[in-house]
Amino acid sequence: MEILGRERRRRWADAEKLEILAAVGLNGETLARVARRYDVSRSQIYNWRRQFKKRGLLPTPVGPTFLPFDIGAPMLNAAPALEERMVSPAMVELCLTQGRRLRFDSGIEGATLTRLIRSVEAA
Residue 100 has pLDDT above 90, yes or no: no
* CA-wise closest residue to 34 among 20, 48, 44: 20
- At 4-37, the pLDDT tens digits run 556 567 889 999 999 999 888 888 889 999 999 9
Report, as an integer, the average pLDDT of 75-101: 66
pLDDT of residue 77: 60
Instruction: Band the pLDDT of 115: cuts 50, 70, 90.
Output: confident
Q: Which domains does the chain have, with CATH numbers?
A: 2-55 (1.10.10), 62-123 (no CATH)
